[in-house]
Structure 1
Amino acid sequence: MQSFENEFEPTIRCIDVSGADQIRGDHAMQGLSAAKWSYVTRGVTDRGRTRLGGFAAQPRLGDLVVSSVKHVGEHESLENSHGRRARLYPGDIVVGACGNRYATEFYEGYLPRGTAAHLLTAGGVVGVVASAHARRGPPTELSVIGPLTDPAGAAISLEKLSLRAPPPARTPPATVVVVGSSMSAGKTTTAASLVNGWTRAGLTAAAGKVTGSGSGKDRWMYEDAGASAVVDFLDFGMPSTFGYPVERLRATMISIRDELARRGSDAVVLELADGLLQADTAALLAFLPGFADAVVLAVRDALSAVAGVRILHDLGAPVRAISGLVTASPLASREAVAATGLDVLSPAALVNGAAVELLSPGEAVSA
């Protein structure tokens, strides 16, 4: 992993507005209409009423900020609320949200403490990179100009734009939770395949992303698969879930399920980001017994399947099947079946009937 800690010192930097005043003056006349608004700002429905405020306090998780692009790095484009990637250039003004990021194959990043910041995700999460995977280049550098405010000068936070917690579902829909052994194990593809399989069977299927970092990529995959509704952590006020208390994440998981139930879903798939050993994911696993009707584990190989099934079984989670990148190899799939006793279901199998079969009562099989 590359380390950027010595250069940026994200946890101790203090706000320094020298230089920011010049940036503010350069762009005051053009206003925010020319800014590139990122995916995480999709809850701002009336951009014309927003203002650029002055620094009054350290930013908090979820605060919306206006920044100038100093140098284009790994993230060469910004994803907007419609999924379009807008090419970035030095001097561009972007609107994003302060947050953290935990991505073992990308960046580890934290809340910015000064005007120097980085683009942590293409979806617009703004923070400071602490470490990076060896395959990743230097981050796109930003200079925070100031907070986004309402006409009265009050800072706008995703907390103010979030959905209200829905009433508890009287009859919760069938709920399948997809977890993974690691990042990029095939979780979203698995979740989308479940949605498509249920939709083909005539069910009203919906999807939710419980944890992760702000980006529209997963939402579009769910919608393309036929999801009648999609709700994620961003709808409940978090640009990225890393760094929030587990109690908040648990409440959000329940609220996402209940909101999808309120919208008339017959079957719901909820995806947890990252791997089973990530702290937030590991904490949420303990709540799956009694909450999830079935758990599907996405893995890259048979050994990960064995370890993952054992972790889930020890917690009492109703793990019913294995999927993910392991299904690309017939040999690896057979190894996983032999070692765990669970079915290994490819995306095609889920689409063509296996997704519906997972909704029927069944016993979890331990390794």
Structure 2
Amino acid sequence: MRSLVVDKIASVALANDIGREARISPDIPCEEGILVAVEVLNNKSRYNTLELTSGRMAQVKRGDIIVGALGHRKALFGYSGHIPEKLLVGDVIQLLNLGGVMGICDSINPNQGQPFDCRVLGVVLEFPYLGERIGVPARVGTQTQTESLPLDVGGVPVVAFAGTCMDSGKTAAACAVISRFRHNGLTVDAFKSTGVALRRDILA
């Protein structure tokens, strides 16, 4: 275990309490949602930003130390990739999306250029046990929902948007409807339940 000063923390790690100075370990479990620290190895002129936990888009440059999450991604207009079976310090993986999902790139969109290559520095540790210095790998999405719970909306109308393709306008349509509801004085609660949601979708 060692300390590491991080330059950028991706929005995928929003729910984790990761500070600018992180603790990392070389023992990396290759599982979806595991937070890893990496060093960016190249510069890009297109598709070269990372959404931070604040929602701000920050330009990524060679040498940046960033924290993101291992994950699979299927994309029509970006990068598709998968989680490697084994990951060691020094291995190279790719940044697959603006929110900080990382893995081995399987296919690219020529309009976006090659993805960022990132050298793995270690798994980010959390310390859930009060008073103990026992670190465990930080993970996104540890609080799962029970699907069998009954849904009681108390008479409140529910509007759902569904689609089978990315960039088909689901989020844009939802934002437009929410905007009109709010304009007419209604209180609206909304969430995005699918995809690798970015904060920009919520902030829109």
- TM interval, short-chain normalised: 0.7 to 0.9
CA RMSD of aligned residues (A): 2.4
The residue type paired with residue 71 of structure 1 is: N
Correspondent of 2:158 among 152, 156, 175: 175
Of 35, 39, 58, the residue aligned with 1:86 is 58
What aligned pairs does 1:332-347 form with structure 2 within 5 A after superposition? none
User: Aligned partners of 1:174 and 1:104: how far apart in 2?
Assistant: 33
Give 1:296-311 correspondences, 5 Å limit.
Answer: none
Of 122, 125, 134, 1:149 maps to: 125
Which position in structure 2 is the counterpart of 1:66? 37
Gaps of 5+ in 1: 1-23, 222-367
Partner in structure 1 of residue 83 of structure 2? 111
Farther off after superposition, 41-50 or 98-107: 41-50
The answer (yes or no) to whether the contact 2:126–2:135 under 8 Å persists in 1 is yes
Greater relative contact order, per chain length (Cα 8 Å cut-off, separation 6+): 2
Among 131, 134, 142, the residue aligned to 2:110? 134
Larger Rg: 1
Q: Name the structure 1 match of 2:19.
A: 47
Q: One-letter code of the match for 1:185? A: S
Aligned length: 191
TM norm structure 1: 0.48
Inter-partner Cα distance in structure 1 for 2:183 and 2:47 = 37
User: Residues 75 and 119 of structure 1 are in contact (CA less than 8 Å); yes or no, is this contact kept in structure 2?
Assistant: no
> Is 1:220 aligned to residue 203 of structure 2?
yes
**Displacement of 1:189:** 1.2
**Which of the two has greater strand per residue?**
2
Match of 1:123 in 2: 99
2:190 to 197, 201, 207: 207
Cα deviation per residue 1:10-59 (whole Å; 9 max; x = unaligned)?
xxxxxxxxxxxxxx9xxx6xx4444311101111235278411122x541
Matched-pair identity in % = 28
- Residue deviations 1:101-130 (CA, integer Å, cap 9, x gap): 111111211113432111111111111110
| 2:178 paired residue number | 195
